[in-house]
Amino acid sequence: MSEQHAPAVVQRLAEPVPAGTFRNLVRYVRYDCISGLLVALIALPLCLAISLASGYPAIAGVFTAVIGGVVAGLISRSELTIKGPAAGLIVIALGCMQEFGYTGGQDAAADMQAYRMALAVGAAAAGLQILFALLRAGVLGEFFPTAAVHGMLAAIGVIIISKQIPVAVGLKAHGEPLELLAGIPSTILHMNPEIAVIGAISLGLLFGKPLIRHPLWRKIPAPLVVIVVAIPLGAWFDLSHDHTYTLAGHRYRVGEQHLVNVPYNVLTAVVHPDFSALRLPAAWKWVAMYALIGSLESLLSAKAIDLLDPWKRKTNLDRDLLAVGIGNLLSAMVGGLPMISEIVRSRANIDNGARTRFANMYHGLCLVVFVVLLPGLIHRIPLAALAAMLIYTGYRLAHPREFVHAFKIGPEQFLVYVTTLVTVLATDLLIGVAVGVVLELAIDVANGAKLRSLFRPVVAVEAREDGTCRVAAADSAVFSNWVLVRKRIVCEGLQQRRDVVLDLSGARFVDHTVMEKIHELELQFQREGLRLQVVGLELHRSFGRDPRSARKLPKNSAAGGSRPGARGDGSAVASRASHSPEAGAEQEARPI
């Protein structure tokens, strides 16, 4: 999830851009239309690649992106996010297809039936997402421990790499991720050389492009560069005609099976779900995965893009989740993949100068134009080039610096990160994330968090003479109780438009997730012209070299009182709270 560690502070541009008004459709058409076109050029090959890697027809991802742009993008008030299929859901989509008998092209009838049953699972998951939104469950994005989420995403990256390396060299991927990784030497020995040349050159372009610093070169999207090079290579090797060639005494077959297959009439590709799949108990496992993992990824992406919005607009996460749920329902009904608010394309949308959510709509409309007017050109894209894009995406999700970053935060977070990653690879996403969550809870308890405070924090609130509010947390501040702590801070600060001092001097243990979330909340206060000041951590011992590492209060510390209102000697509270009735400062300390 390295993309989500992007710089959080962006200078406000001179021209204000109001959010959520249809006047912007005309006022900013030049900026939004140009950005939409450029994002569509990036999105098209990625949509095709994600669809094929998921076992879906190539056009399915385009359906998703069009609905995500034209429908979900308008329902949501997230101004700069791009909705569409994401590499992070490939593992779930392909696993669901295989659950229903997907054969990878060996039996077309079985594959179509698996596809229709998977669409029913997608529709049911979309219904759950809509329910989550109506129940105002957008706060779910605040619950899961950061290390477990990052470990899950890294595992997804490894799985994508393992399954796409064979495709990049002209072979079929068969087996589990660990088995495929162990078989990479054999895969290389049995590769199809012409296809492998296309895959290798595509990978070289993707990894090499960031090394060239020329401003004009940097503005060209890497997927577009790959497509511009890969299509002529496919023509050079005559992939549009089935034939064989001989190299070093070995005979190889190439042909249209190594090219993207898209229909010349898009309407013929519309497929409807087979809801009989929902009678099978196994289907509901995949419904839960789609709903939980998809919602979590979407919420995290929307929050990350808010931090990059030059106009500091804030997404209503419940409404955004509702938009994603409605979009996913429509997408499943016509044969599309599940969608999320996608981080990479959203970042490109910002970099290309988009102003409003209508850029997402233009991106969807441009994709319609591409698949309607240029199906012959799309058909000439080699599958190896698309596989290379996904390998690069997987590498970014499981980048070595993510391991280094987890270790710098602290050994306990590195343990959660690696354990989640390995468990996902050995089992599945739900089990892997569950193991990561349980391990994080065990670490919290081992470091002094009391069982009673894991899900019900003890928080005290007092008003102060200077108009600010002090919120003090005792016992522990950990990922599992952060939602309620955050709710109190938001209520006392953002809703009442006043600065807040968060006093953690009485917390025996503050985990990394809370330190990370506090930083995000500080930025949110800053965007609103307010201040969230964190005090009371001076005597806590840090678990790592990162400023957001977990903190533990030594047992012999003078500040280690369990009373929420206790200020340790290291507390940096700027001014004393008033206890006068006029100030309304009677201190309240109780579980919330």
Backbone angles phi, psi at 538, to 5 degrees: -65, -30
**Using 50, 70 and 90 to split pLDDT, how confident is the model at 371?**
very high
pLDDT exceeds cutoff 50 at 101: yes
Per-range mean pLDDT, top range of 16-20, 219-223, 391-395, 526-530: 391-395
573: left (phi over 0), alpha (psi -120 to 50) or beta: beta
Q: How many CB atoms lie within 10 A of CB 275?
A: 15
Q: What is the rounded average pLDDT for all residues in the chain?
A: 89
What pLDDT digit, counting tens, does each position of 479-511 carry?
A: 999 999 999 999 999 999 999 999 999 999 999
pTM: predicted TM-score of the whole model, two decimal places? 0.87
Q: What is the DSSP string of 153-197?
A: HHHHHHHHHHHHHHHHTT----S-HHHHHHTHHHHHHT--HHHHH
Q: What percent of the chain has a predicted confidence (pLDDT) above 90? A: 76
Task: Report the range of poorest mean pLDDT among 83-87, 352-356, 541-545, 564-568.
Answer: 564-568
> Cα 269–65–227 angle (5° rounding)?
85
For residue 575, is pLDDT > 80?
no
Domains defined for the chain, CATH in brackets: 2-7+22-263+306-396 (no CATH), 451-591 (3.30.750.24)
Instruction: Determine phi and psi for 572, rounding to 5 degrees.
Output: -110, 30
Select from 14, 36, 72, 8 the least CA-distant residue to 356.
36
| pLDDT range class, residue 16, cuts 50, 70, 90 | low
State the Cα–Cα distance between residues 311 and 154, nearest whole angstrom.
31
- Reported as a pLDDT band with limits 50, 70 and 90, residue 8 is very low
The answer to whether residues 384 and 195 touch, using CB atoms and an 8 Å cutoff, is yes
Residue 362 corresponds to which tokens in the numbers above? 């233009």
Kindly state the average pLDDT of the residues 8-14: 40
Amino acid at 312: K
Q: Span 366-370, mean pLDDT?
A: 96
Mean pLDDT of the 290-317 span: 88
**One-character DSSP codes across 440-487:** HHHHHHHTT--GGGSSS-EEEEEE-TTS-EEEEEEEEE-TTTHHHHHH
The pLDDT value recorded for residue 18 is 55
Q: Is the pLDDT of residue 6 over 60?
A: no
What pLDDT shows up at residue 12?
A: 41
Residue 100 has pLDDT above 80, yes or no: yes
